[in-house]
Each structure stands twice: as C-alpha cells, then as structure tokens.
Structure 1
Amino acid sequence: MTNGLDTSLKIDMASMPVQLPATTAEPVAARARFFNSGNAFNVKLPAVPASTFREEAALALAATTTTLFACDQSVVIAAPFAATTPLMLAQYAAIAPGDTLPAAFAASGVIWYVIRGSGSTKTGTELFDWAAGDVFLTPGGPNTSLAAGPDGAVLWLVSNEPQLAFEHLVPPDAATAAIEAVHYPAAEIARQLQRVVEAGQNETTSGIALIFSSMRQEASRNIMPSLTLSLNTVPAGEHQRLHRHNSAAITLILQGESAYSMVGGLRCDWSPFATLVTPATEPHSHHNEGDERAMFLIVQDGGLHYHARTMGFSFLEATGNGS
C-alpha cells in the first residue's frame, strides 16, 4: 500500500512498453514516443571489448590487390555501421604497386600512418608524397585519393566515420571544414620525439609521448576536433603506470619485442602492427620488458571529452617503477 492505494495491480515503470500519443490527427504529433525513468534511464548497451586485431594486419601486409581491412566490432557492440569503438573505425589499407585507393570516407577527417611503402596523396588541390613511418591527416569526403609507388604500400588509418554515421551526417565541404591536410614526415616525428624524451617529467606526467596537432587545431592541442593522436613510448625495462580515462583508445603497435598492455586485468601481448582496443574507463598500463624503447600510436575520441570536460583521467598507481 502507498498513501492508502493498492499498488499490486500497477505496472512497474521499467516494464512499460513505449507509449504512443492518444490522438494522431497530425503527422508531426503521431511521430511522438514516450518512455520513463524506469525503462529509458541509464540505457545499457553491449560493452566494448578489449580486443586485439592481428589477422587484419597480416592480411594487409600479404595483400596483392588494393583492399581495405576493417577492425570491425559492430556486431559485438550492436552498432548498425562498421565501428571499432562506438565513435571510431580503424582500418588497414593495402594499395597495389602503381594503383590508387579512393579515400571517400564519410568522416570529418582521417588519420593515416604509413606502415610500408611509399606513394602520394591528392586531396582537393593539394598533392604530397609520403613514405614509411610518416603520419598524415586528410579531410573526409570524396576529394581524397592515395596512389602507391612501384612497391605498393600498406597504411593504417583511423576515422570518425561511426561518429558521423550515428547522427546520419555528411562531411563538411572544404570551404567550411575544420580539418585540412597535414603531413608529419618520419624524420620530423623522430626529431620532435627526441626533444620530448630529453625533457624532464613530474608526477603528473602521464607518459613519454609526442602529441600531434595542426595549425587549425593548435588551440585545442588535438589533431581533429573529436580525435587525438599521440606517439607513446615506454623505455626499456619500464612501464607506463596504471591509469584510466573516459575516452576509448585504438592503438597501433610500432615497436616492442617484449612488451604488452594490461587492460582491465587482461594481458594483451604486442605484435608488430597489431591494433589494440582499450575500452573507455578500463584501467590499463603498458609494460616493456625488452631492451629497446617501445613505441605505439594511440588514437582516442579525446577531443570530444576535452570539449565536454569529461576526460576523467586519473592514475591508479603511485609513482615509482614507471614512466
């Protein structure tokens, strides 16, 4: 009994089906739907797993034709579009010698890393060459293509296609886009990373990493409005201490013979050019038991969380045996 009323015949709010309007005279009113705090508050969706994509990398490196190999978890996370995490999609691109890959992605931007080979990118009216170890950024939309050199090429790419697909959006045109092409040659990356390695750290430093940005995104310190890119490193025999953040992370392994990550208590062993997925909020750390510096590229949907003030970064381990 509640306030003298018999509640035994009342339906629980959580069991109520979707409610429709009582009258549907107007088409715009007929489209209304109603839920409540029992059946629509704190909606539970399938969890994003901590995954390792190795087969896709192997297929790309062995491919003889121009093909994309997606690190797709859409079935597992119940997404109606290809996605590695709810807002990001990682892929490998194999481009046959002398062939061209159209890069008409429905994304606001695409981050590329050249695993092997060389070639050139044409985006809008701009054309630039690239080689192994380079990173570059291209705007989304239909005006970008990649041409491989005589030995072909294999690249890793991450876009925010799922972010746009979620809201059925299309990339902005070049005149209004927040993203323009940016090229980060391998030699310049190495020079900038060395400056970071030689710099000092304090107890708030999350690791030894080079952060990529651009002229248009300099104020936000991101590579794209929604995505961040970093080249993380762990010195030989050390580890990056346990931490967490609300952004999901997609990692490409570049170097680390005896290295691994711990994600939510699960050990994820590294292998060359494998893609690792760290789900949002999962505690994780990176360990290097080898004799050389471990190196890995990490793309996060961090730009969105920085903008929303929800990054929630925190250490879960005291300073000491870590970097």
Structure 2
Amino acid sequence: MSVDTTRSDETVHDDFYAELADNHYSPLWQLMGNLGPEAKTTLVPHIWRYEQARRLMVEAGEIVPLEDALRRVLGFRNPGCLPHQRTGATDTLWSALQLVLPGEVAPAHRHTPSALRFIVEGDGAYTVVNGQRVPMDEGDFLLTPNGHWHEHGHTGEGPMIWLDGLDSPLMSRLNQYIIEEDPECQEVDAPLPAAYGNGLFAKPWGEPEKVEQPLVYKLADALETIEYLRTREGDPFDDIIVEYRNPITGGPVMTTIGAYLQLIRPGVDTRAHRHTHSTVYHVVRGSGYSIVDGRRIDWTKGDTIAIPLWYEHSHHNPTGEDAILFSYTDKPAIDALGIGRIRPSE
C-alpha cells in the first residue's frame, strides 16, 4: 500500500474540514468551546428611565398616527443584543411601553406570544379580549393569553401608557411567532361573572367559554395582601412578595410567564442570588437600588430594569418609604424544561 506523501498535514486537515462543511456536517468537538458549567448570555443588565421613555412615547404620539403603527409601542432593546438578534429586554422576554391617545382604537389582532399589561398612567382606556371588555386603571395587571383576540381603546382624557410584557423572543427562537390581524372591532359580550372568571365555578359540558381565566388583577387587591404580610418574615431575596396566580389551574398566570408584586420595606437589604430564569422589574412606587453583577443601579417610580439569566442581584431600600416592584419572569417555561436553578450568594 502506497502512502500519498504529496499532501501536507495542513492540506489534509483543511480538505477534511472543507468536505464536512460542503456536506453539511458539524463536528461536535468544534462546538464545545463556548460551553461550560454555568448558564450565560450576551445580554446585560439594563435600566430604562421612565422620564426619558415617557417623553419619547409622547413624542411618538405626535409623530406616528396609530393607523400607521397599529400598535404605538417602543420596545426596550437590551444593549447586549447582537445586530441580527430579534429580541427584547432578555433572551426570552419582550418589554415595552405602549401609548393610546384619547379617541384612538388599536385594532384587533392575536398572536402566539402570551402578553401582559401593567398600567403605568392614565384612565378611561379599555381592552377587549375574546369579546370581554376590561377597563384599564393605573396599577392594574392585565392578561392577553396566547391566541386570544385583543384590541385597545381610549375614551378618557390624556395619554394612556402601559408596560407591555411578552414571551415573543422565546416564540421567535422557536420559530412559532404567528400573528393575525383583524381590522374590525370585536363584538363585546356580556360581562363575565367574577366568580366564574375567578374559578369558583366551571362549565362542565359543551364548548369552552372564549375566556377561561381572569383577565385583570387589581392593584388594590395585591397591595392589601402585601399589607397583611408586612409584619411577617420576608423572603431573603425579595422581601415581601406575592405571586399573581391563575385560580383555574393554581399555577402561574400563563404557561411561559410568571408575575409578582413585591414590597421592599424601608431599610431592607435583600440577600444576593442568581438563577437561570430572567426577570423584568417595573417600579410602581418609591425608590431604591439594586446591585446587579457588582454594579449599583438606582431606580425610581416608572423605571424598568432587565436582569437576564444568571446575573447575581439584590435589592435595597435605604429610604423611609415603601418601594413597590412589579415583575415578570420566564420561570414557568424554564422550570417546565427542567433547567431551573437558583444559587444564593455566599
């Protein structure tokens, strides 16, 4: 057997890898270099200041007619996003402000991403979800489950601004982002009885109702619960915190998104930890700061903070007033995949 001595080792090497590439093979040994024992992301902790975001949102209302935009939304794009990435505040969570002006109606559409709204300011607006019309008041937390038709309107005065939260980056990564538009307004059904919507009663026969879970959680109810817990022992990482729940299932409000309201009491410094789910925080009341990856981020009412996965973080309230934070997270999706991890700092 003769040996081809005319080809150098370098040529053999290059030809081998060229043949692999030409025939659509991926050598695993070349793909392992960026992997390791810890979860990581290119995205970074970031804060969007409400003072600036509101100014730009109001300016958008003067420049961009709603009929041109369909949804007048300013997304919070994480500065760690790569140029080609279609993502949001974290790898899996979209965050944005949406504006509807008096007399406007954002037409109906539906999509595969699940959506939530936390009302930042204004009154007199409403949303219609699968035929159920729900008023939107400051501090309310509203849901638009995936696949539900929804539209927004404003019959009051002044701007109506809310925080949007969706799992659209996750849907995009799964190639499952689907959207349908409908220029017609939905026919509004009779109001859903609260006891039915809150899971105290259920329909055991026939076709399911178009809405099968609560669509709105009132801020006053969440604050009443927090006030009841104020003197109890706080969570070491989040102080006094309550989770919004779906009373039909007993689980999180949506299959991919969990939502919370928490009180950081005056003078409290929470313990630092990290986890494999990412979180978006919105400051409802008060002020304070968080230490994220060793960096101090001061926050006040209206600000929105993104903490991507596996960044160490803690919260602090050095003031004499309460600090109230709303947050949403991809924890339900991460836990369902069996990859949820939490690590307290030493």
TM class, shorter-chain normalised? 0.7 to 0.9
Give the letter for the 2:311 counterpart: E
Contact 1:106-1:164 within 8 A present in 2 as well: no
Task: Select 1:240's aligned residue among 239, 246, 270.
Answer: 270
Task: Select 1:53's aligned residue among 48, 53, 56.
Answer: 48
1:158 matched to 2:165: yes
- Please name the residue that 2:149 is paired with: 143
Contact 1:249-1:301 within 8 A present in 2 as well: yes
- Residues of 2 paired with 1:217 and 1:17: CA distance? 53
Query: Once the two structures are superposed, what CA deviation does each residue of 1:185-221 show, in whole Å capped at 9, x if it has no partner?
Result: 1221222222332444576x75311101113441xx3
- Please name the residue that 2:242 is paired with: 210
Query: Once the two structures are superposed, what CA deviation does each residue of 1:256-281 show, in whole Å capped at 9, x if it has no partner?
Result: 23x11111011111032111111211
- Please name the residue that 1:284 is paired with: 313
- Residues of 2 paired with 1:270 and 1:158: CA distance? 19
Contact 1:178-1:216 within 8 A present in 2 as well: no
1:187 matched to 2:227: no
Question: Quick check: 101-110 or 64-73, which moved more?
Answer: 101-110
Q: Give the C-alpha shift of residue 178 in structure 1.
A: 10
Q: Give the C-alpha shift of residue 145 in structure 1.
A: 0.7
Question: Quick check: 292-301 or 66-75, which moved more?
Answer: 66-75
Structure 1 or 2: larger strand share? 1
Q: Give the C-alpha shift of residue 176 in structure 1.
A: 11
1:296 matched to 2:332: no
Contact 2:245-2:252 within 8 A present in 1 as well: yes
Could you say what secondary structure the match of 1:239 adopts? coil
Contact 2:110-2:179 within 8 A present in 1 as well: no
Which runs of structure 1 show a deviation greater than 6 angstroms over 4 or more consecutive aligned residues? 172-179
- Residues of 2 paired with 1:145 and 1:201: CA distance? 39
- Residues of 1 paired with 2:47 and 2:20: CA distance? 38
Contact 1:106-1:161 within 8 A present in 2 as well: no
Could you say what secondary structure the match of 1:311 adopts? coil
Change in Cα spacing, 1:292 to 1:177, as seen in structure 2 (3 Å) is same
Contact 1:140-1:171 within 8 A present in 2 as well: no
Could you say what secondary structure the match of 2:230 adopts? helix
- Residues of 2 paired with 1:71 and 1:17: CA distance? 43
Give the letter for the 1:70 counterpart: G
1:222 matched to 2:243: no
- Please name the residue that 1:311 is paired with: 340
Q: Give the C-alpha shift of residue 133 in structure 1.
A: 1.0
Q: Give the C-alpha shift of residue 103 in structure 1.
A: 6.1
- Please name the residue that 1:101 is paired with: 106
Give the letter for the 1:182 counterpart: L
- Please name the residue that 2:291 is paired with: 262
- Residues of 1 paired with 2:342 and 2:41: CA distance? 23
Q: Which sections of structure 1, spanning at least 5 residues, go unmatched? A: 1-6, 22-32, 318-323
Q: Give the C-alpha shift of residue 8 in structure 1.
A: 5.2
Query: Once the two structures are superposed, what CA deviation does each residue of 1:133-185 show, in whole Å capped at 9, x if it has no partner?
Result: 11111123472011123124110010011111112214699979998552101
Q: Give the C-alpha shift of residue 247 in structure 1.
A: 0.8
Question: Quick check: 57-66 or 189-198, which moved more?
Answer: 57-66
Task: Select 2:129's aligned residue among 99, 123, 134.
Answer: 123
Give the letter for the 1:184 counterpart: Y
- Please name the residue that 1:275 is paired with: 304
- Residues of 2 paired with 1:309 and 1:87: CA distance? 16
Contact 2:43-2:80 within 8 A present in 1 as well: no
Question: Quick check: 228-237 or 48-57, which moved more?
Answer: 48-57
Task: Select 1:253's aligned residue among 277, 283, 301.
Answer: 283
Could you say what secondary structure the match of 1:299 adopts? strand
- Please name the residue that 1:132 is paired with: 138
- Please name the residue that 2:28 is paired with: 37
* CA RMSD across the alignment: 3.4
Q: Give the C-alpha shift of residue 130 in structure 1.
A: 2.2
- Residues of 2 paired with 1:179 and 1:293: CA distance? 35
Could you say what secondary structure the match of 2:114 adopts? strand
- Residues of 1 paired with 2:161 and 2:332: CA distance? 27
- Residues of 2 paired with 1:163 and 1:175: CA distance? 28
Q: Please, what TM-score do these two structures have when normalized by structure 1? A: 0.80
Task: Select 1:86's aligned residue among 87, 91, 100.
Answer: 91
- Residues of 2 paired with 1:179 and 1:80: CA distance? 35
- Residues of 2 paired with 1:304 and 1:81: CA distance? 19
Contact 2:281-2:305 within 8 A present in 1 as well: yes
Change in Cα spacing, 1:201 to 1:295, as seen in structure 2 (3 Å) is closer
Q: Give the C-alpha shift of residue 291 in structure 1.
A: 0.9
Contact 1:243-1:316 within 8 A present in 2 as well: yes
Give the letter for the 1:116 counterpart: E
